[in-house]
Each structure stands twice: as C-alpha cells, then as structure tokens.
Structure 1
Amino acid sequence: MADDAAPPPIQRKIIHVDMDAFYASVEQRDDPDLRGRPVAVGGSRARGVVAAASYEARVFGVRSAMPSATAMRRCPDLVFVKPRFEVYRAVSLQIRAIFADYTDLIEPLSLDEAYLDVTDDRLGRGTARAIAEEIRARIRADTGLTASAGVSYNKFIAKLASDQNKPDGLCVIPPHKGAAFVAGLPVKRFHGVGPVTAQKMERLGIVTGADLRDRPLAFLQAHFGSYADYLYRAARGVDDRPVRSNRPSKSIGAERTFDTNLTDRDALHAQLSHIADAAWARVAKSGAQGRTVTLKLRRADFHTITRARSLNQPVRDRAAFLAIGGELLDAQLPVAEGIRLLGLTLSGILRDGDRDAETEPRQASLPL
C-alpha cells in the first residue's frame, strides 16, 4: 500500500543579523574623538529625542526614543551628534549586498537589522552557523563595524538569539533546545511584548517564558484577546512565519497618553512636537518613506478621532511631518472636554531593500 502521508515540513535555517549600536558606531568609526565616549545620535542638550546610543551611553541607561533631557540627567558627559542618515543608508546597502551573496530571502526590519533564510546553502558553507560567522566577518572587514547574529529554526528565536551575546556575538539555538531557551528568558524580551504588556503579565504572575508556557490558552485569551495565540506558540518556541523579501508595508509612528487632559493649544502642539520626534526617529531608523500622515486624537470621554492627509510624494523630513500633523490637530480644536492622547503616524510606506518576489527554500539539508 502506498504511503500517502504528507512529507514533513522543511526545517528552516534562519539568521537574524543586528548591527551593534549602528548609528552611534558609524559616528565613532568616522570620528576617532568619539571612540570610547558616551554618544547619542539625534536630539540635543536642549530638546529632542535620542535616535541611538553608543554602548558607553547605554551603561548609564540612555536608550533610543528617550527625551534628550532625560538622557542628559542620566549621563551628563553625553555627546550629542547630528544624525547622518544618508551615510547610514549607504552603509546599510553595503551590508545588504553581503547578505545577497548568500540568499535572496532577505527581510529587512530597518537599516540595521534583517532576517535571512539560508535553508538553501547557495555557497555550500555546510552550516547556518558558518554562514553567520562569514557574514559577520565580512561586515567587519568591509565596514569596520560589528554585528551580532542569532541562528535558529524560526524568526522568533533567531531574533531573541541575536540579542543574547551582544555586542559582536553569535548565538545558535537548534530545534531541540528552542523551547528550553525560550522558557528561561524574561517575557519582556519577547518581540511584541512592550512595557505595558510586560507589566500586565507581571501582575498575572508571568515573568519568564516558562510562566507563560504554563498558562493555558483559554487563560491567555481571557487576558490578551487576539494576541493570545501568538503568546501561546511563542512560549513553546513555535513560529511558522516565513522570511518575506516583500514585507507588507506598515505605518510607523508614536503616541502619548497624558497624565492630565489637555485643552491649551500651545501645550498640545508642544506635546505633538515630542511625539513627532519619537515617530520620526523610528521612520529614519527604518529607512522608510511614506506619503500619508495620520493624527490620532482621543478625547477625555475616550472618543477617538483619526484624521489623515496624503501627499503626491513622500514626506520629506521631520519638519514637514510635524507641520502636517499640526494642521490636522488645529482642524479639531478646540476640544472643550480636553484631550488625553495624541498620536502621529506615517503610512503608505516604501522601505529600502524591498523586493518584488519571494521564493521558497529548495532543500532541507543545511544544519544549524
């Protein structure tokens, strides 16, 4: 009798490459006076938001998207450097050219990180580990910068692994170790679990991956709704998402909920400026361009309003982004009961490195 059983699914070999403190490292590479010093790219001593921080600055708790004033309080010797996005994009293209020697399945997440599916061992390197090591060595030789990499059987674990031995590190998690690796991590490290969700989980007694794994799906659905299925699978090291070289475009933005409801126009515009700083830092980091600016406004009674404006060409810079947002805001004012939340996003996104086609892995013989 013929065996009609379906063949087992191909075990993917995924590498997540993440440049180490990319913007700040480029600045330290190009200016020897900055080497060994705490550096913040973006913002200034007076205002703005940190777009990136060197490892010397991170020791003091300085992080991206942090207001400059907060960063200064944490690190008084912090050196602020104006971002040079054209340089970062050029370096990013160098790095992606290296990736392209090993696979066509490249999914950029931003200028400084990407997923690679190397299931098809195009150059015959023998293992995914060997490919990751070679890529890291070539990045160092060609750009003078370091990269960390995670190697595993799916995207979720590969991304976690790339952060495991930073900076300038490599971490390989084979399939038989995936569930145990995830179980031992704090859930706040899981991709998609932000500070608010992490705090909610902690209140529910969920601190580690093991804690999350021990909660039944019904419990997670009751507390996290549609997000529950992702959490349930992630806690078990399961992620079936393919590396997509033509990732669908998404919006990029930021929002802020205020401690007290705001009615004053000047105060609202000041807050919108801070939100635009945070949002545009993410836009710049992603290497994205977009044509549509959307304002989100939530009144004190929790009624939410969104208003958008689309241009015939991409929004050129942060000033234009904020100007459009300000006009959309003014069109809604005054709001007598006050505003408790504002948000500003860019959509209609085109990203550097997007490709037109996606192909499937062709063999399953490459070990991790």
Structure 2
Amino acid sequence: MAEDRAILHSDLNAFYASVEIMLNPGLRGKAIAVCGSSADRHGIVLAKSEKAKKAGIKTGMVNWEARQKCPDLIMVPPQYEQYLKYSKLTRAIYQRYTDQVEPYGMDECWLDVTGSQAVQGHAAVMAQRIRRSVREELGLTVSIGVSFNKIFAKLGSDMKKPDAVTIITRANFKEKVWPLPAGELFYVGRATGKKLSRFGVRTIGDLACLPLEFLRSSLGKNGEMLWLFANGEDQSRVMVSDFYSPIKSVGHGTTCISDLENNEEIWKIMLYLTQDVSHRLRVHEMMAKGVQISVKDNTLTCRQFQMQLPMATQSPMEIALAAYELFTNNYGWHTFVRALTVRAIYLEPKCLPRQLVLFDDAV
C-alpha cells in the first residue's frame, strides 16, 4: 500500500477583519465589521471580528440590520489591496515548506508537504511552525488542518479556531469526522443536503455508511464523489499554479433559503456575490470586460443574460451595478427567484495597458 500523503489546509482567521485590526491596533477587542459601501444602508457585512460575531453579526447581513443588532459596531470599508498583500505574504511563508501550494480564495490554501517531511519534519510540526510564523511575522492567526487528503485537511482547519492545528488520521477520522453534520462536507450544498436528509442522512458517518450503489443511482457521479470523500478516499491532488488552465471566467452563486421576491433582495445578494467575484479577480490578477448573470426561478427554469463593460474592472460595485442592470432590464418578475449567479467574463490580465479616463461623466 502506498504511503499516505501529508496535506495541510490553512485558513486565515477572520482574515479581512484581522488585517484591519492589525493595521489599526486601536480596533483590537472591539466589535468591528468590514462592510461594502459602509456609508450606504444597503451595504452588507463582508467580514466581522470575533466580538462582533458574538454579538450576532453575520457575513452577508445588511448594514442597518447589523447596526440594529450591535449599536457599538464599528464599520470600516474594505482595503482590498491590503488583503491581497497579506494573502501573498502568507503564501510566501507556506512556500518555505513546499512549492505545492493551491490557493482557495484569498484566505485559504492547501499545501502538499509529503516530500518535505524528510527535511522539515512531520507535517504536524510544519503546521505548528507555519502557525507561529504567520502570527509573529504578520500579526495574523491561522488555523491549519493536517490530514492524508485535501477534504479532511479542510475539515480539520474548521475544527479549532483561532490559531490552532487539528490532525485527522486514518486511525481517528471516524471518531473526528463522522459525527459532523453532513452539510460540513465539501460540495454538500443546500440542494444535496436536502436530498441526503430525505435518505435519513444527518452526519458524514451516515453518508459514509450508505451503499455506494444507492448513492450512485440517487445522486449520480456526485453521490459517488461524496461517498469517497466521507470514507477518506479523496485522491485529488494539490494543484500548483503551473497546472491551472488559463481562467476564462470567475463566478459565484447561491441558492437562497427562501425565494427572492423584489429588486431590493436581488441587489443585496448581488452585492454579496460580487465581493467574492472581485476577490478572485484580484487573486488571479485579472480584469473583467463583461458580466453574466444566471437566474433560476422557483419553477427551476434557468435564464442567462450578459453584457460587455465599457472598461475592464475588478470593482465589486461596478460588477454588481452591471449585474443589477442586466436583471432589471431582462427578468420581468413573472416568477420569484430561487438561485442567482454572477460571473465576470471576457477576462484579461491586469498588466495590460489601459485607456485613462480623463474626465468625469458629470460636468
């Protein structure tokens, strides 16, 4: 039998809020929220500090609602360039241990340290060193999962927060992973979670113990993949940048708990989705020349609309405004909305020369 891999998954704790506190120590110990359009009552919470979380503040909450829930909440605007800077500095620390680093958003990475153990020591020792280096050099904290596959490493990084290391092995994964809710397994979204619930599946262990053929017939290839994940058989590799195909689009979508019934609700969701789209564009150092939206209504009919932009952008607000224009010009509200996706398309590298805007639109 081949020797198990050594995979780490690192997750920077409350990343945006932590960067803001590190840059402004006067915010330490206070309830703060990083908010898109913090002056606008329709802006939303993008990230929150631990104290704000304890006060009931949630990511995606509308600003006025957050203020109502926590009157002392300090709202700060996002500083994307700073987040990108510290994301890159963190990855530089990871690369001291391995060149096999796969980013997953700005604040998460997988590391394959299998080949580094002979020189650097056991994976758990490397994880502790990384954790200390991030804290001492950058003033940030990171939670790290250590396991023999990517799926369990990611689960491990969620188990202890902040500033902690969790180890999941072949010997203990049934004890540590199987009692977790099935919805915590990677790729179990709301729709799949509902189907699994109808099968009596409440935990990852319940899923693991279902017959593979039953899951294949019920959920197709996705069912087989989830069964393998639950049983510790994920074989997916850590994809270093050399293995990435050039990205053609960047998108983010959500299926809503309850149907969206008006434009104000649509706008709130678009603001939330485009924050993630913008972050991914920045990570990949790409600009969008177009925007596409996909709208699924409550009859499960899906419609798609797209437009070109006058100037390439990474701005979440510009992408959100274009997406909202597409929706209001085309949807018509014959039925309520069940799911929404916003995608940045016609991507080009950020380094391309651009035409300067010399005059404001308004005179």
After TM superposition, is the score higher than 0.5? yes
Deviations 1:241-300 (A, max 9, x none): 0000134546322346596785xxxx43x3332122111222244444452411223456
Q: CA deviation at 1:73?
A: 4.0
Q: Give me the whole-angstrom Cα distance separating, in 1, the residues matched to 2:134 and 2:70.
A: 30
Deviations 1:111-153 (A, max 9, x none): 1110000111178122111111111111112111111111111
Answer yes or no: is the 8 Å Cα contact 1:105–1:116 preserved in 2: yes
Paired position in structure 2 for 1:315:
313
Q: CA deviation at 1:216?
A: 1.5
Cα 1:123/1:281, change in 2 over 3 Å: farther
Q: Give me the whole-angstrom Cα distance separating, in 2, the residues matched to 1:309 and 1:122.
A: 50
Question: Given the alignment of the two structures, is residue 126 of structure 1 paired with residue 124 of structure 2, yes or no?
Answer: no
Question: Given the alignment of the two structures, is residue 32 of structure 1 paired with residue 25 of structure 2, yes or no?
Answer: yes
User: Scaled by the length of structure 2, what TM-score is found?
Assistant: 0.83
- Total equivalences in the alignment: 339
Cα 1:301/1:56, change in 2 over 3 Å: closer
Deviates more, 1:48-57 or 1:73-82: 73-82
Q: CA deviation at 1:196?
A: 4.6
Q: Give me the whole-angstrom Cα distance separating, in 2, the residues matched to 1:301 and 1:42.
A: 33
What SS does structure 1 have at the residue aligned with 2:307?
Answer: strand
Paired position in structure 2 for 1:365:
none
Paired position in structure 2 for 1:237:
232
Paired position in structure 2 for 1:358:
none
**Counterpart AA for 2:307:** R
Paired position in structure 1 for 2:208:
213
Paired position in structure 2 for 1:345:
342
Q: CA deviation at 1:101?
A: 1.4
What SS does structure 2 have at the residue aligned with 1:151?
Answer: strand
Cα 1:302/1:164, change in 2 over 3 Å: closer
Give 5+ residue unaligned stretches, structure 1: 1-7, 353-368
Give 5+ residue unaligned stretches, structure 2: 351-363
Paired position in structure 2 for 1:324:
322
Paired position in structure 2 for 1:366:
none
**Counterpart AA for 1:22:** F
Answer yes or no: is the 8 Å Cα contact 1:102–1:123 preserved in 2: no
Paired position in structure 1 for 2:252:
253
Cα 1:94/1:258, change in 2 over 3 Å: closer
Q: 1:296 aligns with which of 294, 297, 304?
A: 294
Deviates more, 1:240-249 or 1:149-158: 240-249
Cα 1:196/1:72, change in 2 over 3 Å: farther
Question: Given the alignment of the two structures, is residue 16 of structure 1 paired with residue 14 of structure 2, yes or no?
Answer: no
Question: Given the alignment of the two structures, is residue 59 of structure 1 paired with residue 54 of structure 2, yes or no?
Answer: yes
Q: Give me the whole-angstrom Cα distance separating, in 2, the residues matched to 1:184 and 1:40.
A: 32
Question: Given the alignment of the two structures, is residue 80 of structure 1 paired with residue 78 of structure 2, yes or no?
Answer: no
Paired position in structure 2 for 1:136:
131
Cα 1:242/1:235, change in 2 over 3 Å: same
Cα 1:301/1:91, change in 2 over 3 Å: closer
Q: Give me the whole-angstrom Cα distance separating, in 2, the residues matched to 1:159 and 1:37.
A: 29
**Counterpart AA for 1:172:** I
Question: Percent identity between the aligned chains?
Answer: 30
What SS does structure 1 have at the residue aligned with 2:56?
Answer: coil
Answer yes or no: is the 8 Å Cα contact 1:297–1:339 preserved in 2: no
Q: CA deviation at 1:12?
A: 1.3
Superposed CA RMSD: 2.9
Q: CA deviation at 1:330?
A: 4.5
Q: CA deviation at 1:237?
A: 1.6
Paired position in structure 1 for 2:355:
none
Q: What are the equivalent positions in structure 2 for 1:107-256 lying under 5 Å apart?
A: 107-121=102-116, 124-246=119-241, 247=244, 249=247, 251-255=250-254
**Counterpart AA for 2:21:** Q
Q: Give me the whole-angstrom Cα distance separating, in 2, the residues matched to 1:167 and 1:66.
A: 22
Q: Give me the whole-angstrom Cα distance separating, in 2, the residues matched to 1:302 and 1:186.
A: 27
| Larger RCO (alpha carbons 8 Å, 6+ apart) | 1
Q: Give me the whole-angstrom Cα distance separating, in 2, the residues matched to 1:77 and 1:224.
A: 47
**Counterpart AA for 2:306:** A
User: Scaled by the length of structure 1, what TM-score is found?
Assistant: 0.82
Deviates more, 1:276-285 or 1:127-136: 276-285
Answer yes or no: is the 8 Å Cα contact 2:274–2:320 preserved in 1: no
What SS does structure 1 have at the residue aligned with 2:41?
Answer: coil
What SS does structure 2 have at the residue aligned with 1:110?
Answer: coil
Cα 1:200/1:78, change in 2 over 3 Å: farther
**Counterpart AA for 2:204:** G
Q: Give me the whole-angstrom Cα distance separating, in 1, the residues matched to 2:78 and 2:297.
A: 35
Q: Give me the whole-angstrom Cα distance separating, in 2, the residues matched to 1:143 and 1:22.
A: 12
Cα 1:254/1:116, change in 2 over 3 Å: same
**Counterpart AA for 2:274:** W
Q: Give me the whole-angstrom Cα distance separating, in 1, the residues matched to 2:192 and 2:349.
A: 28
Q: Give me the whole-angstrom Cα distance separating, in 2, the residues matched to 1:143 and 1:209.
A: 36
